[in-house]
Amino acid sequence: MGHHCTVDVQLEKLGLVPFFRQLSAEELQKVNEMFRAKHCAAGDVVYYQDEPASYLRVLVHGSVKLIQHTTEGKDILVDMLKPGEYFGSLSVLGDDHYTETAVAQSDSCILVIANREFRDILNSRPAVAVTVLDITSEKLNKAREMTRHFTTMAVEKRIAHILITLCEKFGEESKHGQLLQVPLSRKDIADMAGTSTETASRIMSRFQENGFITSGRQWVAIRDKEGLTAIMGS
């Protein structure tokens, strides 16, 4: 089945979405009515890569990962989303297809809107459009940074970097240190770093020996962020 959240919670969460935060209560209400809520269980596929793309989505609860499949059979984990982030398709052009597969990583609640309707929102509310643009250019910068890291840094450094980034986004204090609030396997890490599961595993073991992290099946906690940062510059 999956997670369920009430209409009230939806409205509240929608108000927290960066590009809707600036809207007045009544405007938010109007926008909210244009969305349709969908609940997903962990592991559910929200949409598949190459499928015709005509919906934009906003994650309200849970976590979603974006994966690109390659002809070689390798997967790339492009992004991991937390509540408040948008995904899916922005474009209104007919022949647009999803460039990645979206999978719910844990039970999630997702708001869906036809991108034609979303366009209407953007066209009538410039401030929203500009904010969406900001977020998108930010993501563009991140994506380019990622390319840079892939091509210049050794796998160990890439993984250190990934852990730090995840820690900033998903970390929450626990007895083990900053526990990442998201299921995270060795394969996930490998797909993010563009390496093999084995290599990811080896490096994670090394990090654990050095006391940088504590980790188990599908979970990771960062103990010593400075240690990881140090790895990156050496």
Using CB under 8 A as the criterion, which residues of the chain lie in contact with a copy of itself when the complex forms?
Answer: 68, 70-72, 74, 76, 78, 90-91, 99-100, 119, 122-127, 129-130, 132-134, 136-141, 143-148, 150-153, 194, 233
Residues 200-219 that bind DNA (CB under 7 A): 201-202, 204-205, 208, 215-219
| 156 near DNA, rule: CB under 7 A | yes
Q: Assess contact for 88 and 55: CB atoms under 8 A.
A: yes
How far apart CA 108 and CA 61 sit, in angstroms, is: 5
First to last CA, the chain: 47
Q: What is the closest distance, in whole angstroms, from the C-beta atom of residue 103 to a copy of itself in the complex?
A: 16
Region for residue 50 given its phi and psi (left: phi exceeds 0; alpha: psi -120 to 50; beta: otherwise): left
Least distance (Å) between residue 124 CB and DNA: 45
CB nearer to a copy of itself: give 136 or 174: 136
The number of residues that bind DNA (CB under 7 A) is 22
Instruction: Tell me the C-alpha to C-alpha distance, in Å, between residue 230 and each of 119, 184, 233.
Output: 45, 23, 6
Q: Please choose, out of 10-18, 92-100, 117-125, 184-192, the segment that lies near DNA by the rule CB under 7 A.
A: 184-192
How many angstroms separate the Cα of 172 from the Cα of each of 37, 70, 111? 27, 33, 25
Nearest 5 degrees, angle CA 122-CA 127-CA 131?
85
Q: How many CB atoms lie within 10 A of CB 194?
A: 15
Could you tell me the CA-to-CA distances from 134 to 18, 129, 131, 139 in Å, in that order?
10, 9, 5, 9
Q: Are 59 and 82 spatial neighbours (Cβ–Cβ below 8 Å)?
A: yes
129 is a contact residue toward DNA (CB under 7 A) = no
Across 101-136, b (16+ Cβ under 10 Å) vs e yields: bbbbbbbbbbbebbbeebbebbeebeebeebbeeee
Closest distance of CB 160 from a copy of itself, Å: 14
216 binds, among DNA, a copy of itself, none (CB under 5 to 8 A by kind): DNA
Choose from a copy of itself, DNA, none: what does 215 bind? Cβ within 5-8 Å by kind. Answer: DNA
Q: How near is the Cβ of 230 to DNA at its closest, in Å?
A: 17
Closest to DNA by CB, 30 or 74: 74
Of 86 and 109, the one with the shorter C-beta distance to a copy of itself is: 86
C-beta closer to DNA: residue 60 or 231: 231
Q: Which does 119 bind (CB under 5 to 8 A by kind): a copy of itself, DNA, none?
A: a copy of itself
Contact footprint for DNA (CB under 7 A) = 154-156, 185-187, 194-199, 201-202, 204-205, 208, 215-219
